[in-house]
């Protein structure tokens, strides 16, 4: 019997996705790894790029996998809940779960709604919800990061192109395109300070151990 998108199912996907996305892997990894509180260094972000500024590549990798994985798990659970239903319903529920997980990372309940910037979770949700779009966005990130060695610029470029990949290159269902656009807008909002530094030519390179000025440091 086809699975219907009941209000209860939608609520479970959104709330569950948000709680999964709220898990602060950067904070957990640095504290358990003896590197202190990642929110007190660099940009103050809880993401993998800032964790890398501790000099611990292992902790940065754990953070990257955790932040990406929690989005993917949220999508997988929603996909399993609709595996016997129509593709349209599946696309909608997985996109809702992915968007909720992304919001959870940006505004985690465990950290008083002060979270990260969302790039790793963006990739994790995309790879699970629409892997061709995720792969194309990932290739964009790698290309820009290789050329300019600036993580924020690579993330901004990937986020900007993801809705185009979804709508025009891979012709994904409409909820996936809206998911990409939703995440892209929030990524640009969360990278406001980075964009200002990019325009000034002051954005640090990947792996740099440079503390951000207090007025530029984003919410932890």
Question: What is the per-residue pLDDT across 9-41, written as a single tens digit (0 to 9) for each?
Answer: 999 999 999 999 999 999 999 999 998 999 998
- CA-to-CA distance for 52 and 56, rounded, in angstroms? 6
Q: 0.85 cut: is pTM over it?
A: yes
pLDDT digits (tens, 9 = 90+) for 73-111: 999 999 999 998 899 999 999 999 999 999 999 999 999
Q: pLDDT class for 208, splitting at 50, 70, 90?
A: low
Which whole-number Å values give the CA distances from 117 to 76, 122, 170, 191, 217, in the listed order? 22, 9, 26, 7, 12
Position with higher pLDDT, 50 vs 24: 24
């Amino acid at each position: 019997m086809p699975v219907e998108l009941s209000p209860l199912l939608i609520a479970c996907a959104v709330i569950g996705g948000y709680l999964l996305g709220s898990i602060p892997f950067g904070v957990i990894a640095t504290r358990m790894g003896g590197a202190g509180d990642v929110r007190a260094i660099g940009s103050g972000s809880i993401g993998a790029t800032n964790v890398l500024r501790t000099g611990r590549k292992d902790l940065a990798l754990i953070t990257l996998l955790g932040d990406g994985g929690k989005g993917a798990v949220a999508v997988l659970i929603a996909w399993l809940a609709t595996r016997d239903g129509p593709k349209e319903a599946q696309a909608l529920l997985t996109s809702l779960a992915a968007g909720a997980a992304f919001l959870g990372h940006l505004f985690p309940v465990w950290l008083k709604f002060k979270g990260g910037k969302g790039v790793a979770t963006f990739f994790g949700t995309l790879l699970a919800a629409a892997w061709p779009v995720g792969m194309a966005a990932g290739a964009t990130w790698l290309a820009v990061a290789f050329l300019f060695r600036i993580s924020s610029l690579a993330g901004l470029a990937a986020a900007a192109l993801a809705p185009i990949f979804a709508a025009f290159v891979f012709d994904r269902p409409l909820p996936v395109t809206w998911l990409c656009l939703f995440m892209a807008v929030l990524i640009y909002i969360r990278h406001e300070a980075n964009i200002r530094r990019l325009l000034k030519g002051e954005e640090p390179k990947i792996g740099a151990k440079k503390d951000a000025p207090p007025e530029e440091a984003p919410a932890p």
